[in-house]
């Protein structure tokens, strides 16, 4: 990581996480966010309990602060040009963060049902619903 960069860690085997990575790559006009899979960056998550490693996406700030899941949403937003103010607002509002955590919880709870059943490139096997 270079100074000023954020790092987004996501599960490359999760369709929603991969879609998030593609969206962030497209929205990151200033190229401040490096994308890495959790699978290739486990050493950065050594402080997390094993059950949390693949249960959420993770952000590492330029200062080295690790945030996870709903707590990482403000960091992700502030790294994007159009979200800097929103990230600060979310971080300062307990009520808004309750909503962020609820939405994030919904997505993680139903992520298997929310992923399209399409076959990965080069295979003929569809994802189970």
What's CA 63's distance to the chain center, in Å? 18
Q: What are the tens digits of pLDDT across the range 18-67?
A: 888 999 999 999 999 999 999 999 999 988 988 889 889 999 999 999 99
pTM greater than the 0.75 cutoff: yes
Q: Which residues pair with 8 in a beta bridge?
A: 35, 59
Q: How confident is the model at residue 80 (pLDDT cuts 50, 70, 90)?
A: very high
pLDDT higher than threshold 80 for residue 117: no
pLDDT of residue 119: 44
3-class DSSP assignment, residue 106: helix
CA distance 7 to 25: 12
Domain locations along the chain: 6-114
pLDDT of residue 89: 94
Q: Which region, left, alpha or beta, applies to residue 125 given φ > 0 means left and ψ of -120 to 50 means alpha?
A: beta
Tokens of 82: 């159009």
CB 6 within 8 A of CB 32: yes
pLDDT of residue 126: 43
Long-range own/partner contacts, residues 22-29 (CB < 8 A, 24 or more apart): 24/76, 24/80, 27/80, 27/82, 28/79, 28/80, 29/80, 29/81
* 4-8, 55-59, 91-95, 106-110: least confident range: 106-110
pLDDT higher than threshold 60 for residue 1: no
What CATH architecture applies to the domain 6-114? 3-Layer(aba) Sandwich (3.40)
pLDDT of residue 3: 59
């Amino acid at each position: 990581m270079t100074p000023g960069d954020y790092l987004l860690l996501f599960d490359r085997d999760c369709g929603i996480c991969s879609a998030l990575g593609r969206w962030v790559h497209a929205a990151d006009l200033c190229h401040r966010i490096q994308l890495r899979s959790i699978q290739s960056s486990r050493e950065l998550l050594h402080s997390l309990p094993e059950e949390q490693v693949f249960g959420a996406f993770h952000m590492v700030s330029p200062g080295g602060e690790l945030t996870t899941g709903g707590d990482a949403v403000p960091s992700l937003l502030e790294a994007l040009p159009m979200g800097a103010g929103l990230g600060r607002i979310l971080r300062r509002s307990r009520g808004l963060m309750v909503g962020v955590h609820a939405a994030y919880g919904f997505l993680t709870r139903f992520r298997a049902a929310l992923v399209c059943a399409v076959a990965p490139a080069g295979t003929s096997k569809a994802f189970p619903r």
